[in-house]
Structure 1
């Protein structure tokens, strides 16, 4: 049985750890409120932008729009959005597992895969894979729309010069404080969305078409790069909120685990102390018996 001092030192150490995890939980909770508000404020904009793109692209030919050019896919680029910091449970590892599975799938189909990481944890996971083309580290804590623009411009240039035939993005989507799941979307080529007139008629009771000025093709030339910016920025916002939610949950679990450890160590300490007291009493009783004898 360990000595009293050893057990007491362990209890003190675990209590200090519990204080740290509780403080990190409170910090993550405070940051989550801001990140979640920012993400939820941007979601309607992203949805409306996607709806506008759907209206414009329905039935449109992609011949004059390079970003909508569908090719025979031989090379695929995967953009991975993770956090820069750890201590958020399995949030980042779940994203990495999805990407690893995706890479194996593409390679089994004979396709070449390259990877662009946004966030330090993704870069660390694929640093030695030989597939990492570019990484954007230390930006997830303070990212802005210009960071998303820089990333989208980079992957767009790679697509236009033919170094990639398809670009996917994998990120952690925020569903709730307790649930954050990896999500995969195709960024390039941008696929036209066909409108369902019958469905629209059932929902709205009427159908109609928009008249665009200038020509829809001219509008699309401007909107397509902006659409990519919105998609990348939206993914970064989702990961930003998901990271804090996952860290808050992980730190709460860690604090509860520390409390359980303290209870177990306290019981062990009491047993060790009782054993020490019993030993001393036995020595006293034995000594007294020896004196009488």
Structure 2
């Protein structure tokens, strides 16, 4: 299936905002460029009128120009390979593609071939989730990774000692990509399936739930995540802006969770709670 590539020419100050807005419109993957931002969506889901309305929304704040290209999936693989550079998280985690060499200085080496999935570690929300994970003890734990994308968070949990990790995503291509990355990282304790939180067995409880997903989903599903947590278990979330954090925190408090700490990076936020 072909993808539509949306090339946006805009100020770097608005890259993160447009990434979030386009995510709400169904765009699946993003590449920052010297000119601004490239975003990718399955061609049948592309709505140019919605793009024009989005640009008009920010027209008074910044100049935005765009063009649309039809892009076959194999071309996207070449695109991310040209732009994908390893990232480092607090000198402990290095996220790289399979065509990069291993750097033995890092305790956790994660190989991610992202294909069409979101979650290479380059976005602030993913990087914060990885950094927050480093502050938790995963040894012998059971972990649930919600909206797993590439599987990057599940893979770090496994490398940090989790005994069982269940990851899921609603998109078939994301699940296929996650399985590929799980195998690349030799993490047999990870299981990945296609579905939603409603497909998780309510009788299975977890020590840690990871959810890097948008605010609207979090506001609906935080009570469901809480029900799946063991007592003293942790819920770690991201995928929203700093101004949305009070709403997320309130929903978590109402669900019976206690706020532990936050992390902020370029107006994006990550929150950690304990049951």
After TM superposition, the score normalised by the length of structure 2 is: 0.25
Q: Is the radius of gyration larger for structure 1 or structure 2?
A: 1
Could you say which structure has the greater relative contact order, defined with CA pairs below 8 angstroms and 6 or more residues apart? Answer: 1
Return the structure number with greater helix share.
Answer: 1
After TM superposition, the score normalised by the length of structure 1 is: 0.24
